[in-house]
């Protein structure tokens, strides 16, 4: 039911028509009997500033931010969390009495999903992260704040990987390698995280790692969720490795955003079900 007390949450991005976020959050608001509604707003790049002014003027309670606004939106906010600043992008905004505060829940969402869905204790683990783009920045920054042993970044563009290393090296021991070098390191790592788009629809027959290099001591994590099970994940299952699939990160980044807007913890299983 919508009434004068209903609080509004929005998603801004371009395009947003296919986003699952409205369905996921509205299901949870109803499920918990919270008087909130979530709408998707298609905002063009040149209208971002007006959109953010509108959030204040209309007293919208919070936002999710998606492509292409995650970086540019930072210019228009009153406060940005240390984590979002280090990652260089905002995906969640809270309107606190007219003050807009930006957060990034992707990295925390990933780590919470990894731990809760696999039961792994990541303390002391050696982790190789494939890719150095936006998702890799968020995930590796949050991982670097945990008590992991080492983070190895493998990327096609080595300069980009070194820029990421520069942000992380004050928190954790890091190393940058090329794709050719993966074979020399993969045996000794515990967790492999794919943050590249290799294997994403429509090129679902591709994988960033040769199947033979995966063994049963590995935990193979792929953040791609289209398809829900990538070739990398299928290969890992066949090799006897533990696996972690990409939908979890999407669900848990939403769980954390939901907590920030409402102060209430939603049930990740209900959110997952609403998306599936």
For 163, phi then psi, to 5°, come to -65, -40
| Distance of closest approach, residue 206 Cβ to ligand NAP, in angstroms | 8
CB closer to ligand NAP out of 195 and 262: 195
| Distance of closest approach, residue 83 Cβ to ligand NAP, in angstroms | 16
**DSSP strand pairing (92-96 vs 242-244):** unpaired
CB 87 within 8 A of CB 110: no
**Coil, strand or helix: which one is 101?**
strand
Cβ neighbours of residue 27 under 8 Å, at least 6 residues apart? Answer: 270, 271, 274
**Strand ordering across the sheet containing 242-244:** 174-177, 150-154, 126-130, 191-194, 219-222, 242-244
Cβ neighbours of residue 74 under 8 Å, at least 6 residues apart? Answer: 80, 84, 85, 89, 90, 102
CB closer to ligand NAP out of 95 and 253: 253
* Residue of closest CB approach to ligand NAP: 133
Given 37, 70, 125, 231, which residue is catalytic?
Answer: 70
Question: CA 226, CA 171: separation in Å to the nearest integer?
Answer: 32
| Distance of closest approach, residue 133 Cβ to ligand NAP, in angstroms | 2
User: What are the residues binding ligand NAP (CB under 6 A)?
Assistant: 106, 131-136, 155-157, 160, 195-198, 200, 223-225, 246, 249-250, 253
**Coil, strand or helix: which one is 177?**
strand
Q: Is 70 a catalytic residue?
A: yes
CB 151 within 8 A of CB 129: yes
Of the CA atoms within 13 Å of residue 238, those in its CB half-sphere come to: 11
Question: CA 155, CA 88: separation in Å to the nearest integer?
Answer: 19
CB 199 within 8 A of CB 206: yes
CB closer to ligand NAP out of 60 and 154: 154
**Residues designated as active site:** 70
């Amino acid at each position: 039911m919508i009434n004068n007390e209903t609080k509004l949450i929005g998603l801004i991005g371009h395009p947003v028509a296919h986003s699952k976020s409205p369905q996921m959050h509205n299901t949870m608001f109803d499920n918990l009997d919270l008087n909130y509604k979530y709408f998707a707003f298609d905002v063009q790049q040149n209208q971002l500033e007006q959109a953010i002014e509108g959030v204040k003027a209309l007293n919208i309670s919070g936002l999710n931010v998606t492509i292409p606004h995650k970086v540019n939106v930072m210019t228009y906010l009153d406060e940005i969390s240390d984590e979002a600043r280090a990652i260089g992008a905002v995906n969640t905004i809270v309107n606190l009495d007219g003050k807009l505060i930006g957060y990034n829940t992707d990295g925390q969402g990933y780590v919470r999903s990894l731990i809760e869905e696999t039961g792994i204790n990541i303390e002391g683990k050696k982790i190789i992260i494939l890719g150095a783009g936006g998702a890799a920045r968020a995930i590796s920054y949050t991982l670097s704040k945990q008590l992991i042993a080492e983070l190895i970044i493998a990327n096609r563009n080595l300069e980009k990987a070194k820029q990421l290393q520069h942000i992380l090296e004050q928190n954790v021991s890091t190393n940058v390698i090329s794709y050719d070098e993966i074979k020399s390191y993969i045996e000794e790592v515990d967790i492999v995280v794919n943050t590249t788009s290799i294997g994403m629809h429509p090129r679902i027959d591709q994988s960033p790692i040769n199947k033979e290099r995966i063994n049963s001591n590995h935990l193979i994590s792929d953040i791609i969720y289209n398809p829900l099970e990538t070739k990398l994940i299928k290969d890992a299952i066949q090799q006897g490795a533990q696996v972690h699939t990409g939908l979890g990160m999407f669900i848990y980044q939403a769980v954390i955003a939901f907590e920030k807007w409402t102060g209430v913890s939603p049930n990740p299983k209900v959110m997952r079900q609403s998306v599936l």
